[in-house]
Amino acid sequence: MLVKLKPGKEKNAVWKHPWIFSGAILKAPDGFCPEVRIESAKGDFLGMGYYNPKSQIALRILSFQDQKLDRDFFYGALSRSFSRRQHILTPTNTACRLVASEADELPGLIIDQYGSVIVLQFLTAGIEYYRNIIVDLVVEMLKPETVWDRSDEAVREKEGLKQTSGLLFGKNLTSETLIVENGYKLLVNIPSGHKTGFYLDQRQSRAEIMRLAKGKRVLNCFSYTGGYSVAALLGGALEVVSVEVSSQALEVLEKNLEANQITQGNLSMKLDVFEYLRKAKEDGQKFDLIILDPPKFVSSKSDLDRAARGYKDINRLAFHLLNPEGILATFSCSGHMDDLLFQKIIFSAALEAGCNGQIVGKFLQAEDHPILLTFPESSYLKGLQVRKI
């Protein structure tokens, strides 16, 4: 099937950006098509992809070569992506993102490895069409004990798809899955945990927190299952206060402490983080290292102003709780929040808290979550290491 673009609308494809919006299309099939040839208005070949008129991003390009989108294509694409991560998967790191959607030139597909368990997310109608081929190839190439579906993201509804989750191959999951990260152990709830079970994109950030934590009193906000808490305590923190609103996440946090033979030093608080920060300020609590890694505040550009206020509020309160020379490790995981705006928000928060700060380091998403040069949207996670002065 053929899709033609309007005159002058081929720039994205020429620049190897994988998205083409519906407004750029001149001629297309009547309905969904899993394999289309994309041409400019003049008839120049631009790429091969899939077409979904139900989505605002009507075209997603899988290949800029003139080739069939068949089993051989997916075998080659998966092989390249898997091979890029071979050096990451070691006895001291047994979890990794194997395919990062557009960043690995496979729009709509996420593949994560947690030890012997592979987790798949099919996020678009086009990649959903190739589900069986992809599952078969994952089983053939990786030989996992379990393949699990976590295609339960709301974004599927924009594609005209229902959310799905459950066993695709192998052994059922009846308990948390044990992984090793940076040499320590973590339990992951794959069926119902956040994202595909855990925040793999913060692996390198947690290693940096381990380095920073020695001899410090640490506050871990939005602690989830305690990845940062475990890292800080193993790094020599004097005490960690872990604040999380989810009872289920805190139960796994306790299991993670036990798995690493940590018997003291952590205080878990089941509270809303905003509530805790305000109460801690009233009580005169002080910390040497504060970690603010909130969930995504920005889902769309229309949320940006509201999210900016939320980021400023929690960072302002955190600056009040920091000792002089203390370190604030603060993050945003939204692609709609650019680096400069985030830095301005942290500047404003410090100003309102009556202090100043020095940026002494920056955090990025881990290397298995690469940033594709031709797809700047793949840069979403940003973090600042700010010293209070």
Checking if the pLDDT of 300 tops 70, the result is no
Domain 199-388: give its CATH superfamily. Vaccinia Virus protein VP39 (3.40.50.150)
pTM for the whole thing?
A: 0.94
Which residues make up the CATH 3.40.50.150 domain(s) of the chain?
199-388
Backbone φ and ψ of 364, nearest 5°? -130, 165
- Give how far Cα 41 sits from Cα of 3, 4, 6, 44, 45, Å: 10, 6, 6, 7, 10
Per-residue pLDDT tens for 75-131? 999 999 999 999 999 999 999 999 999 999 999 999 999 999 999 999 999 999 999
Checking if the pLDDT of 335 tops 90, the result is no
Average pLDDT, the chain: 96
Which residues make up the CATH 2.30.130.10 domain(s) of the chain?
2-63
Which candidate in 33, 96, 221, 333 is catalytic? 333
Q: What is the pLDDT of residue 175?
A: 92
Q: What is the pLDDT of residue 253?
A: 98
Q: Which two tokens stand for residue 149?
A: 């579906």
With bands split at pLDDT 50, 70 and 90, how would you rate the model's confidence at 296?
Answer: confident
- Say how far residue 263 (Cα) sits from the centre of its chain: 30
Checking if the pLDDT of 302 tops 80, the result is no
Checking if the pLDDT of 350 tops 70, the result is yes
Checking if the pLDDT of 223 tops 90, the result is yes
Please name which of 354, 346, 358 lies closest in space to residue 388, comparing C-alpha atoms.
358
Query: Please, which residues have CB within 8 angstroms of residue 311's CB and are 6 or more apart in sequence?
Result: 294, 297, 332, 337, 342, 345, 346, 349
Beta-bridge partners for 90: 93
Q: What is the pLDDT of residue 299?
A: 65
- Give how far Cα 330 sits from Cα of 220, 290, 377, Å: 11, 8, 20
User: The domain 71-175 is classified under which CATH number: 3.30.750.80, 3.20.20.70, 3.40.1010.20, 1.50.10.10?
Assistant: 3.30.750.80
Per-residue pLDDT tens for 22-64? 999 999 999 999 999 999 999 999 999 999 999 999 999 999 9
- Centre a 10 Å sphere on the Cβ of residue 81 and count the other Cβ atoms it contains: 21
Q: What is the pLDDT of residue 297?
A: 74
Edge-to-edge strand list for the sheet holding 146-149: 95-100, 109-114, 117-122, 146-149, 166-170
Average pLDDT over residues 240-260: 97
Cα distance between residue 112 and residue 95, in whole Å: 7
Cα distance between residue 92 and residue 115, in whole Å: 11
Q: What is the pLDDT of residue 319?
A: 98
Checking if the pLDDT of 374 tops 90, the result is yes
- Say how far residue 25 (Cα) sits from the centre of its chain: 31
Residue 333 annotated in active site: yes
Of the chain, the percentage scoring pLDDT greater than 90 comes to 94
Q: Which two tokens stand for residue 262?
A: 């940590």
Checking if the pLDDT of 219 tops 90, the result is yes
Which residues make up the CATH 3.30.750.80 domain(s) of the chain?
71-175
Average pLDDT over residues 267-282: 96
User: The domain 2-63 is classified under which CATH number: 3.40.50.2000, 1.25.40.10, 2.30.130.10, 3.30.350.10?
Assistant: 2.30.130.10
Of the chain, the percentage scoring pLDDT greater than 70 comes to 99
Average pLDDT over residues 276-297: 94
Asked if residues 63 and 167 have their Cβ atoms less than 8 Å apart, the reply is no
